Amino acid sequence: MNKKNKYITVTKPFLPELKEFIPYLESIWDKKWVTNNGQLHQRLEYELEDFLGVKYVSLCTNGTLALMLALKALDITGEVITTPFSFIATSHAIVWNNATPVFCDIDEKTFNIDPDKIEKLITDKTTTIMPVHVYGNPCDNEKIQAIARRYDLALIYDAAHAFQVKKDKQSILTWGDISVLSFHATKVFNTFEGGAVICHTQEMKQKVDDLKNFGIHGETEVVTTGINAKMNEVQAAMGLLQLKYIDSNIIKRKIIADLYIENLKSVPGLSLFSYLPGVDANYSYFPVLIDENVYGKSRDFLYEVFKEQNIFTRRYFYPLISQFPMYSHLASARPDNLPIAERIASQILCLPIYPELLPDDTSRICSIIKDGFRK
């Protein structure tokens, strides 16, 4: 295939050989147990608890429902301070729980919520802080946790990007009151769709388990107004198989990231994303910032050039959540309240990264960026 005609997507789900998946399907067909806390579901929860170094995992059918369950399990109401620089589900989950998102600006180096700007947003209606570990780069938990304790606020981490990320050799999923993972097909670890709520006590896990199963607690007892957010056995089977490859896939992602860094570190007007010291990253994304005044062309121009070459990058996150019509009316959503987030959103471009991406493809992507500056 001509290189120009080859499609390169920003990400691609890792799928093991089909022949490896078939025995899991045969087991499901044999048992006729396809959902409702099946054996594979139970096994995946146990193996994830061990692999991630966390106490309790409650599996869900997707990450958005996991966020909604986390908020519901903590009885969140009122105002939730969060980031505008995230996927839309972060704020949607808040609204679906009849709470109100309050947008806080972000740090220009980490792209995470800026802890130094949180306190000025706290009111008598504030109940919760919900930061996002953007691109898997850990938030400043020490500062955020101190604020949460000072004002007696709940702390929920949207850790959709942060599977197997560690800070100083400790899983960042142990932070806060609850953390939430996504196992969507675009993520480092996927179960086609899927997600999980990470809990620190058996009582909280039981509450989440009840909520994700209609509130049913035993054959004849319903204890709360729950929903249906259970992960099925086919999803769980894929998760068990993915665990066999996750470490090697992260290594492959790191190799690609290192190639990008080596080839792009000297391009004027291009800023590369870097992880904080002491972080064991999962290399889930490779974002760059395009400074039009130095690079000579806009981010959107480069985005279109890539599309012409059948290379599909992503302006992630653009637009900001705060710019969408269901949120733009909020006082905290005003652009002058979010100057850093507004600038980053206008410059951000995520380059393709996934385990099967070839070095030649990486070189081609880098050449297009370099040629764009030279021209």
**Spatial distance between the Cα atoms of 272 and 285, rounded to a whole number of angstroms:** 12
Taking the CA atoms of 118, 334, 290 and 349 in sequence, report the sign of the dihedral they define: positive
Domain presence at residue 225 = yes
Question: Which of 222, 243, 264 is the last residue in one of the domains?
Answer: 243
Query: How does pLDDT run across 253-290, given as a tens digit for each residue?
Result: 999 999 999 999 999 999 999 999 999 999 999 999 99
What is the pLDDT at residue 230?
A: 97
Domain presence at residue 300 = yes
What is the pLDDT at residue 218?
A: 83
164, 295: one domain: no
**Spatial distance between the Cα atoms of 73 and 69, rounded to a whole number of angstroms:** 6
**Spatial distance between the Cα atoms of 20 and 348, rounded to a whole number of angstroms:** 38
Of 60, 9, 16, the residue nearest 246 (C-alpha): 16
103, 197: one domain: yes
Number of domains in the chain: 2
Contacts of 355 (CB under 8 A, 6+ apart): 14, 248, 249, 252, 253
Domain presence at residue 197 = yes
Question: Which of 210, 243, 276 is the last residue in one of the domains?
Answer: 243
Domain presence at residue 5 = no
CATH code of the domain covering residue 359: 3.90.1150.10
Domain range for 323? 246-374
Domain presence at residue 280 = yes
Domain presence at residue 177 = yes
**Spatial distance between the Cα atoms of 117 and 120, rounded to a whole number of angstroms:** 6
**Spatial distance between the Cα atoms of 248 and 238, rounded to a whole number of angstroms:** 16
204, 328: one domain: no
What is the pLDDT at residue 52?
A: 98
Domain presence at residue 281 = yes
What is the pLDDT at residue 2?
A: 56
**Spatial distance between the Cα atoms of 357 and 252, rounded to a whole number of angstroms:** 9
181, 225: one domain: yes
CATH code of the domain covering residue 209: 3.40.640.10
**Spatial distance between the Cα atoms of 163 and 171, rounded to a whole number of angstroms:** 9
What is the pLDDT at residue 6?
A: 86
Contacts of 160 (CB under 8 A, 6+ apart): 63, 87, 89, 132, 180, 181, 182, 184, 187, 195
The label of the residue with tokens 């106490």 reads: 55
281, 233: one domain: no
Q: What stretches in the chain show pLDDT beneath 50?
A: 1
Q: Across the strands, what pairs with 213? A: 228
144, 271: one domain: no
175, 272: one domain: no
191, 331: one domain: no
Residue at 109: amino acid letter: K
What rounded mean pLDDT belongs to the chain?
Answer: 96
238, 258: one domain: no
Domain presence at residue 137 = yes
Question: Which of 196, 220, 243 is the last residue in one of the domains?
Answer: 243
**Spatial distance between the Cα atoms of 11 and 285, rounded to a whole number of angstroms:** 8
What is the pLDDT at residue 101?
A: 98
**Spatial distance between the Cα atoms of 149 and 162, rounded to a whole number of angstroms:** 23
* DSSP secondary structure letter of residue 255: H
What is the pLDDT at residue 372?
A: 78
217, 311: one domain: no
φ/ψ region of 133 (left if φ > 0, alpha if ψ in -120 to 50, else beta) reads: beta
Query: How does pLDDT run across 118-133, given as a tens digit for each residue?
Result: 999 999 999 999 999 9
What is the pLDDT at residue 375?
A: 63
226, 291: one domain: no
Residue 333 tokens, joined: 């959503």
106, 225: one domain: yes
